[in-house]
Structure 1
């Protein structure tokens, strides 16, 4: 159970950049934003606080994953696992057609596995992949529910509770997460005490070739001592805002932390696009290493692309 709790730390959100990305093959080669210039915002009611308030109060990312179930679409999922030399030793490819109605929600168009993917008992080699299945494959194969809380744990030590905490970490960065040993408060980077350790900047750009956006970056200050830097779990949080309506269209998170119990180094993107005026997930990518005592170190990356949304809402 502790393993589940610790893994909750290792998943989050948006946009490739020049930060701390793990030096190895990355399946995510899709460039979706072009930066124009730094933005000098002088309006009294518009600035850093505007962006921060939007981030910590936003529930639209989680709702977008609910809303996608109302449509037909194609999901292409590529997963790679790596050995200690960062060479690919396992591959999973799924091409899935999602049906918004009828008894069969998920139709496999392609299903391929190569290399070291499964244990002898048929379970996945890596817990990373098991959590991927929980977050994404379950979403493809379940009914649309219009409303509901982001978290719905059944108790402090239950699997469902830890998985609910994972959802909070993915869809609501910057909020505290109770029940995660040693790091629950480290996700809360917008408190008065934590803000002193981060630089804030925002830029103007174009997303998906046509959407005008603000690119808001929160990053650990470069002149901090190494000891202080090591104690900060979230190294960078970048958020993309649609200038026209201030909707959040993408997030990137770079996280790295080490103590006596575990080590991890993770970057994750989530990107959205519009279909019939509704914000829906279009790309999710993950790069991560994590190490837990007496367990095999896990190294994995994945790229999820949702495309060809179609059909009327149910």
Structure 2
């Protein structure tokens, strides 16, 4: 039973990959949205590394931004590419969706919908579990339109629900120990006393989206550290300089052993609309490969725009 549980969670956790391919994959990197002015002497700003760490570990607004979507009409434009073993594109999913609340009920209007290539299984379900995981983690407020259901995703129930919750915690509350992840639970606690020795901290300041003054706090694995000592290779967090709220997060995670091999990069960006934080862009690329399961490779680009409070 323990082996089954371990395999199930690995299947859920490591869904995206980075290798050469025929088309350019999305390159998730919050830094690219920021013009860096200079490295920061945080002492002169009356800040220290622990201030940033405490803000990351205790933050709730980043996840709340996704819950805030329920109060808004918006347009979601979603692209997914899947890849075969030779890293050639073998499936494409495109959705352009208008989300609105009509008479107190959520309404979805498909402005565009197209699937090509190896997208579905013979039973009509999607080939990749990656798609279901995206819906569960990032679209709690609204169904993304990828899942064929009545609005209640299968990801919200069943024997794997607890493991999916752990994955969500890893993304939205990084830096904490997440018990129950096979072989790597302790490696998620990158600010803990056992893991700090493997990381360097870098500070900079700049402009986010050309107008918002921000701090960039980067946690990077030391070059001298062995690959097996860490799971999170880099985590970059963007802070509003005035409010200290988190506006963006980039995570690079890689790990390999006899049980699984994964490599995932993801970026989440927020912006304010009428004073409220809301998600604007999510990008991913990655792979997972574990014994007795088909390897999955995919890249995502998710854009939310035209927010209007209802």
TM over 0.5: yes
Structure 1 match to 2:282: 284
CA RMSD of aligned residues (A): 2.3
Is the Cα–Cα contact under 8 Å of residues 61 and 171 in structure 1 kept in the other structure? yes
Once the two structures are TM-superposed, the CA of residue 270 in structure 1 deviates from its matched residue by 0.5
Structure 2 unaligned segments of length 5 or more: list them: 145-155
Where does the alignment leave 5 or more consecutive residues of structure 1 unmatched?
A: 13-19, 143-152
Distance 1:116 1:182, change over 3 A: same
Q: Is the 8 A contact 1:105 1:140 kept in 2?
A: no
1:122 and 1:5 mapped to 2: Cα distance?
Answer: 24
Match runs of 1:206-245 below 5 Å: 206-224=207-225, 228-245=226-243
The correspondence for 1:112, drawn from 107, 111, 114, is 114
> Deviations for 1:217-239, whole angstroms, at most 9, x for unmatched residues?
00000123xxx322310000000
Specify the alignment match of 1:63 in structure 2: 64
Write the distance in 2 (CA, Å) between the matches of 1:268 and 1:36. 24
Give the CA deviation at 1:303.
Answer: 0.7
TM-score after normalising by structure 1: 0.86
Which residue number corresponds to residue 95 of structure 1? 96
Judge conservation of contact 1:231–1:257 (CA < 8 Å) in 2: no
What is residue 305 of structure 2 aligned with on the other side? 307
In the superposition, the TM-score normalised over structure 2's length comes to 0.87
1:196 aligns with 2:197: yes
CA contact (8 A) 1:11 1:170 kept: no
Q: Aligned pair count?
A: 290
Pairing 1:250–2:254 present = no
The structure-2 alpha-carbon separation of the partners of 1:140 and 1:10, relative to structure 1 and needing over 3 Å to count, comes to same
For the residue of structure 2 that corresponds to 1:186, the secondary structure is: helix
Q: Per the alignment, do residues 280 and 104 of structure 1 end up closer, same or farther by CA in structure 2, a change over 3 Å counting?
A: closer
Contact between 1:33 and 1:209, CA under 8 Å: does it hold in 2?
Answer: yes
Using the TM superposition, name which of 29-38 and 118-127 deviates more: 29-38
The Cα offsets for residues 226-274 of structure 1, whole Å up to 9 and x where unpaired, read as: xx32231000000000001000000000000011111100000010000
Equivalences for residues 1-314 of structure 1 within 5 A: 2=5, 3-10=7-14, 22-24=19-21, 25-27=24-26, 31-43=32-44, 46-101=47-102, 102-141=104-143, 158-224=159-225, 228-312=226-310
Q: Hey, what does 1:148 align to over in structure 2?
A: none
C-alpha displacement of 1:104: 3.9
Shift of 1:58: 0.7
